[in-house]
Amino acid sequence: MYVKTTKRENKSGTVRYLHLAHNEWDPVKGRAVPKVLFTFGREDDLDRDAVRRLVASLSRLLEPGEALASTAAGDLEFVSSVPFGGTYVLDHLWRRLRIDRIVGQVGQPKRGRRRDMSMTERVLFSLVANRALAPSSKLAAADWVTHDVHVEGLPAIDDDACYRAMDWLHEVTDDLEKRVFDEVANLLNLEVDLLFFDTTSTYFELEEADGPVARDDKGRLLTDDRPPAEEDGESADQAGFRAFGKSKDSRDDLPQIVIGMSVTRDGIPVRCWCWPSNASDQTLIRQVKDEMRDWTLSKIVWVTDRGFSSERNRRYLRQGDNAYIVGEKLRSGSPEVKAALSRQGRYGEIAQNMRVKEVRISDTERFVICHNPEAATRDQHIREQLVSQLTTLIEDTDKLSDFKRGELRGKIADKPGLNRYLRTTPSGKLRIDTAKIKTEENLDGKYLLRCSDPDLSAEDIALGYKQLLEVERGWRDMKQIIDLRPVYHRLEERIRAHVVLCWLALLLIRIIETSADATWTTVRRELDRLHLGTFTGPTGLFRQVTALTKPQRDLLAKLNIPAPKQIIALEPAPR
C-alpha cells in the first residue's frame, strides 16, 4: 500500500487529493493497476492528527526497531548533535534580567567606529555562557560557539569579535554593573541590608611583571598627562597591573592582580573590582564604599574580615547611615581585644556549633565573642600535634653547640605554627613556651567581632559574619567552576573585562542555584543531556530538540522557564 496523489483543476487552480491505494493485477490489461482503498481528501485540508494516530496504531504491530525504521524517511540524514539545555536556560535568564537591552542602552564605544549592538550583545552572552558551561580561552570559546553548542542568533563567531566585544565591555563596565544589579534586585526582591566584601588574588604565568605606569587613586590608568590623584597629601604610586606581591594562592613567585567582590547575604554577587598587585586591603574598602554609595542602596551593614579592620576603615564605614561587622584579630595585643577577652560572662547558645557572648567596653562599638566547640576541639588537636613535633625537634639540643642550636632555631622560625610555642632562654637553650600554650588554650574555637550597629542582636551579628563564607564560596566557584584563571590576556583592559565576564557568569549561576535549590554542577550536568539534533533531507534542513526528561521538566518549572520548541529551525532546500 502507498499514498496516491491525484490532481483536479477548478476555478481556484490545481487541487491535490490524497488516497490510500495498492496495486492489483488486471488480467485484461495485463498489468498492475492502482485501487483506491480510502480517500483522505484535499491535501490542504488533511487531518494530520488522524494520520498520526493511524501511523501510531499500525506501529504497535511491529517491533520497536522495525517501527522506527519504517516511519523514518530513508533519505533523511542525521548531521550532528550539540548540547542545547545550558545555553537555553542561561539565555532565558539573561533576557529576563534584561541584559540584552542593557547592552543596547549603555551606548556606543567612546572611540572607534560604531558597532552592531545586537551582535555585540550576542557575543557577550556567548562568552558568559562559555565561562559557565565550558570555560576556555577566547579563541577556544569562538570555536566552541561555532561547532560545539547552539546559541540563538549567533551561528558562528571568531576571536576578533570576542576581543572587540570585551574592549567595549571594559568601557561601559560601571554603568552596566549598576543597571544589571537593579534588574537583579527587582527580579529577586533583594533586601541589601548586609553587604559582604572580600578580596582575593589571581596569578599569571609570567616571568616578568608589568612595567609601572601612572594611575589614579583607584588603581586605574591615567589617560592624560595629569599627575596621579593625591590622598592625604601623598601621591598614588606608579604601579604595573600584573606585579609581584603577597599571593593568597601561595604563588608569590608569579605576578598577580587583586580582585574584590561584594555579595549579598543570599550569595548574589553585586559588583566586582580589579586593582594592581600593590593595592592594600586597608585602603580598598573606602573606595568600594564610595562607589556603592552612588547606587542609592538602603542602609547597609558592611561585613568584612580582619584584613579591613583598621580604625580609619571603621570610621569611614560608619559615615552616613551605614554600619559594619568586622572580624578582629585575637592575637593583635590591642587593649580593646585584651579587655574583651578578660570580661566574664555567660555564653548564649544560638546553634549546635555556635555560642556568643557580648561584652561592652566602648560607647560606640559592640564586641561579640563567638565560640565554636567543634573548632575548639580541632584547635586543641592541632596544637598538641605541633607541640609534640616541636618537643621532638628540640630534644637533646642542650648538648649541641651554640652554632648548631642557632641553626635549628632559624629553621623553626620559618615555621610559624612551631615557632609560636618555642622560647629561648637567656643562655640560648630551646624550650617549650608553656605560658604561650596556656594563652592559646583560652583562644581555642573563638573569634572576636566588632560591630557599630546598635540595633543588631548578638546572634544576628554572629550569624551575619558567618555568612561571609558566601564570598569565599564565590571565590572558590570563580576559580574552580568558572575558571577565572588561567587568564589568556596581556592587555589590562581585557584582563578587567575577563573578570567582569566571570562575574556575570557567577551572577547567572547563583540565581539558578537560588531558584532551583541545587548546585550548578548538578544543574549543568542535567542540562547538558538536552541536545539539539540537525537533520537534512530532500526538502531542506531542520533542527530538533530531544524530548525532555522528568528531571529536566522539573528544573525548567523551578526556574519558571518554558519548555523549548521541538523544532528550532527550518531551512527549506534551495530550488
Cα gap 409→430, rounded to integer Å: 8
Largest CA distance in the chain: 131
pLDDT value of position 232: 41
Classify residue 41 as left (phi > 0), alpha (psi -120 to 50) or beta: left
Cell of 105: 542602552
Q: Which residue has the higher pLDDT, 356 or 73?
A: 356
The tens digit of pLDDT for each residue in 494-522 reads: 999 999 999 999 999 999 999 999 999 99
pLDDT in tens, 430-441: 999 999 999 899
DSSP H or E segment with residue 252: none
- The predicted model gives 350-360 an average pLDDT of 86
The pLDDT value recorded for residue 108 is 60
pLDDT given at position 513: 94
Question: What is the secondary structure of 325-360 as a DSSP string?
Answer: EEEE-TTS--HHHHHHHH-----EEEETTEEEEEE-
Q: Quick one: average pLDDT of 11-28? A: 85
Distance CA 38, CA 12 (A): 25
Helix (H) or strand (E) holding 404: helix 402-413
Q: What is the mean pLDDT of residues 185-192?
A: 71
| Angle between helix 159-188 and helix 117-133 axes, rounded to 10 deg | 80
Q: Contact, 471 vs 288, CB < 8 A?
A: no
* CA-closest candidate to residue 370, choices 292, 463, 485: 463
What are residue 269's DSSP bridge partners? 263
Q: What percent of the chain has pLDDT over 70?
A: 91
User: Mind listing the pLDDT tens digit for each residue in 73-132?
Assistant: 556 788 889 999 999 999 999 999 999 999 988 866 555 566 778 899 999 999 999 999
CA distance 570 to 333: 73
Sequence-distant (6+) residues with CB within 8 A of 419 are 412, 413
pLDDT of residue 57: 82
Q: What is the dihedral of CA 505, 508, 511, 515, to 10 degrees?
A: -120
Q: Do residues 533 and 81 make contact, with C-beta atoms less than 8 angstroms apart?
A: yes
The phi and psi torsions of 298 (rounded to 5 degrees) equal -75, -170
Inter-helix orientation angle 492-516/159-188, to 10°: 40
- pLDDT band of residue 225 (cuts 50, 70, 90) is very low
Cα–Cα distance measured from residue 464 to residue 323, given in angstroms and rounded to the nearest whole number = 13
Q: Which of 83, 68, 270, 54 is nearest to 181 (CA)?
A: 270
Any idea which of 53-62, 169-178, 273-282, 562-571 has the lowest mean pLDDT?
53-62
Higher pLDDT, 149 or 67: 149
Which residues is 38 bridged to in the sheet? 20
- Quick one: which of 267, 249, 270, 268 has its CA closest to 258? 249
Distance CA 239, CA 218 (A): 12
Q: Residues 547, 552, 554, CA angle at the centre, nearest 5°?
A: 125
Chain Cα centroid distance, residue 322: 28
Beta bridge partners, 2, equal 21
Report phi then psi at 214, rounded to 5: -70, 135
Residue 563 pLDDT exceeds 60: yes
The 8 Å CB, 24+ separation contacts for 110-117 are 110/171, 115/164, 115/168
pLDDT value at 542 more than 90: no
For residue 43, what pLDDT band results from cuts at 50, 70 and 90? confident
Binned at pLDDT 50, 70 and 90, residue 142 comes out as: very high
* Mean pLDDT value across the chain: 86
For 253-304, give the DSSP string. Answer: TS-EEEEEEEEETTS-EEEEEEE-TT--HHHHHHHHHHHHHTT-----EEEE
Q: What percent of the chain is modeled with pLDDT above 90?
A: 39
> What pLDDT is recorded for position 535?
86
| pLDDT above 60 for 230 | no
- pLDDT computed for residue 149 by the predictor: 95
**230-231 and 234-235 beta bridge pairing:** antiparallel
Q: So what's the pLDDT on residue 64? A: 60
Give the residue from 377, 381, 447 showing the smallest Cα distance to 417: 381
- Name the residue among 214, 211, 236 with its Cα closest to residue 226: 214
Peptide bond into 416 cis (omega under 30): no
Which range is least confidently modeled, 65-69, 274-278, 279-283? 65-69
Overall average pLDDT of the 337-358 stretch: 86
What is residue 66's predicted lDDT score, i.e. its pLDDT? 57
Task: Classify residue 232 as left (phi > 0), alpha (psi -120 to 50) or beta.
Answer: left
Cell for 248?
593568597
From CA 49, how far away is CA 46, in angstroms rounded? 9
Whole-angstrom CA distances from 286 to 192, 247, 438 are 19, 22, 38
Q: Which three cell numbers stand for residue 129?
A: 555562557
pLDDT of residue 228: 47
Residue 554 φ/ψ, nearest 5 degrees: -65, -40
114 Cβ partners below 8 Å, 6+ apart?
108
pLDDT in tens, 289-332: 888 877 756 667 888 888 788 888 888 888 877 888 998 888 87
Whole-angstrom CA distances from 483 to 128, 137, 178, 349, 388 are 12, 10, 24, 40, 40
Cα 173 to chain centroid distance, Å, stands at 17
* Run of H or E residues at 12: none
User: What span, in angstroms and rounded, lies between the C-alpha atoms of 262 and 499?
Assistant: 14
